[in-house]
Amino acid sequence: MTVDELRRTIEEFLAAHDPATTERLEFLRARYDAGLAWVYFPPGHGGLGLSPARQLEVDRAFAAAGAPDNNPEGNGIGLGMAAPTILAYGTDEQKRRFLRPLWTGEEIWCQLFSEPGAGSDLANVSTRAVRDGEDWIVDGQKVWTSGAHLAQFAILLARTDTGVPKHRGMTYFLCDMTDAGVEVRPLRQITGEAEFNEVFLTGVRIPDAQRLGGEGEGWRVANTTLNTERVAIGGRASDRESGIVGVVTETWRAHPDRRTAELHDRLLRLWVDAEVGRITGMRLRQKLAQGRPGPEGAAMKLTFARVAQQLSGLELEILGEEGLRYSDWTMVRPDRVDFNARDAGYRYLRAKGNSIEGGTSEILRNIVAERILGLPPESRADKDRPWNEVAR
């Protein structure tokens, strides 16, 4: 499809579905069915099989026409992590069942990966899934689950074989969060918010038809999710000087009396780091859209966490006592994280989580060292030993 043909397709769609008069959900469903959701996805699954580079052009055309969006901030895990994993490993039936309501935002998704004893070492999960006829029975506990209180479905990593080494005994499932055996409890953070949750799974029955990938192949499937997650956290699409760097730069411009040569040098270095990170994120998202998420996402996420923490600290130094004020510590359950909507104290505290969520910085440095730089792996006492023979 040429550029002109794609443009005509969009114009014809908008003529038939006027955003000003078409009900929001009806509009989004029609856009998906027309292949104008993810244009780089295959026909029949919201796309036209085009190059990922064409997506930006499509999104801009719909935005210019005043078209409704599909709640990308509220369903970031579904759109950024579940969808590419389902596309890569799902059966045709799974793609037909899940991708459309996921893209339209009718079904919100969360991620059941981290556990109290397996966060940094995700391959060590102990949540069990036991086969029972055509179903699996799942029991265990997950933690640090964003949006679990809002989600209808979750991507779930569970152990299905304890007699093999940890990376080979896990299986990946699509879990219905409305099952009676799913209990969600809020976790209050240092910011006062409770955007994360604990999730307890008791006798949750998951049909085998909702297994993603083969039995025991959960680690391979999860790596696709993890690579897309790191790009999603560290490489969100953004304009120059947006996000925290934009806020801190404006603070600097608004307080000329507090400038010093040392603060100026630090801000300049962080501004350059943020810009390099933004442009690198653009390249990584293109690879991701082509179904080739790589370990480079770990470096992207590492940079994002470091720059966010250093910038939020620099903002407090520029503001002095004013920066120590904290406007509201009321417990709320936000459906998105918005660094720009709160004060400097919030940004400083919330940024601490950036080096934990989506893989700790320590684990990501190991990935960079081993998979990108090719350095020797660290010593692992549990390597090649059956999971049930390792003390924990």
Percent of the chain with pLDDT over 70: 96
**Are 127 and 63 in a shared domain?**
no
State the total domains in the chain: 3
Assess whether 366 and 298 both reside in one domain: yes
The first and second tokens of residue 193, run together, are 């918010």
Out of 191, 220, 249, pick the residue that ends a domain. Answer: 220
The pLDDT assigned to 392 comes to 75
Residue 318 lies in a domain: yes
Q: Report yes or no: 130 and 143 within 8 Å, Cβ to Cβ.
A: no
- Distance, in Å, from the CA atom of 378 to the CA atom of 371, rounded to the nearest integer, reads 12
Q: Domain check: are 121 and 20 in the same one?
A: no
Domain assignment present for residue 378? The answer is no
Please identify which of the residues 115, 193, 195, 229 carries the catalytic annotation: 229
Say if residue 338's pLDDT is above 80. no
Backbone torsions φ then ψ of 130, nearest 5 degrees: -115, 130
Round to whole Å and give the CA distance between 111 and 109. Answer: 7
Regarding whether 168 and 188 lie in a shared domain, the answer is: yes
Separation of alpha carbons 243 and 235, rounded Å:
12
Highest mean pLDDT among 140-149, 278-287, 353-362: 140-149
pLDDT at res. 237 = 63
Residues 203 and 114 in one domain: yes
Evaluate if residue 344 carries a pLDDT over 80.
Answer: yes
Domain match, 245 and 330 both: yes
Confidence of residue 8 (pLDDT cuts 50, 70, 90): very high
- What's the pLDDT tens digit per position in 203-234? 999 999 999 999 999 999 998 888 777 666 65
User: Residue ranges of the alpha helices (H) in 17-89?
Assistant: 24-33, 54-64, 76-77, 83-89
Q: How confident is the model at residue 236 (pLDDT cuts 50, 70, 90)?
A: low
Mean pLDDT for 360-372 is 87
Tokens 């970031």, residue? 76
How high is the pLDDT of residue 221? 96
Residue 383 covered by a domain: no
Q: Please, which pLDDT band fits residue 286 given cuts at 50, 70 and 90?
A: confident
pLDDT exceeds cutoff 90 at 72: no
pLDDT score recorded for residue 294: 65
**Contact at 8 Å (CB) between 269 and 35?**
no
Could you tell me what percent of the chain has a pLDDT over 90? 61
Within a domain: residue 385?
Answer: no
Among 170, 200, 220, identify where a domain stops: 220
Q: Are 171 and 264 members of one domain? A: no
Strands in the chain per DSSP E: 109-112, 128-132, 135-142, 153-159, 170-176, 182-187, 196-207, 211-212
Chosen domain end from 175, 196, 220: 220
**pLDDT tier, 359 (very low <50, low <70, confident <90, very high otherwise):** confident
Q: At 90, which CATH number?
A: 1.10.540.10
For residue 164, the model assigns a pLDDT of 95
Tell me, yes or no, whether 167 lies in a domain. yes
Kindly tell me if the per-residue pLDDT of 120 is higher than 90.
no
Position 382 in a domain: no
pLDDT value at position 334? 80
Domain that holds residue 139: 109-220
- pLDDT the model gives residue 339: 77
Tell me, yes or no, whether 185 lies in a domain.
Answer: yes
Residues 235 and 347 in one domain: yes
Residue 248 predicted with pLDDT over 90 = yes
Q: Are residues 216 and 246 in the same domain?
A: no
Active site residue 195: no
pLDDT at 1: 82
What pLDDT score does 48 carry? 95
pLDDT in the model for residue 235: 53
Within 13 A of 324's CA, how many CA atoms are on the CB side? 2
Query: 245 and 340: one domain?
Result: yes
Residue 388 lies in a domain: no
Q: What is the mean pLDDT of the chain?
A: 90
333-353 average pLDDT score: 85
Q: Is 268 exposed, middle or buried (0-12, 13-18, 19+ CB in 10 A)?
A: exposed
Query: What number is the average pLDDT over the span 15-27?
Result: 95
Question: Which pLDDT does position 371 carry in this prediction?
Answer: 84
Q: What is the CATH number of the domain that holds 250?
A: 1.20.140.10
Residue 91: predicted pLDDT? 96
**Is the same domain home to 239 and 366?**
yes
- Name the pLDDT band for 290 (thresholds 50, 70, 90): low
Are residues 367 and 271 part of one domain? yes
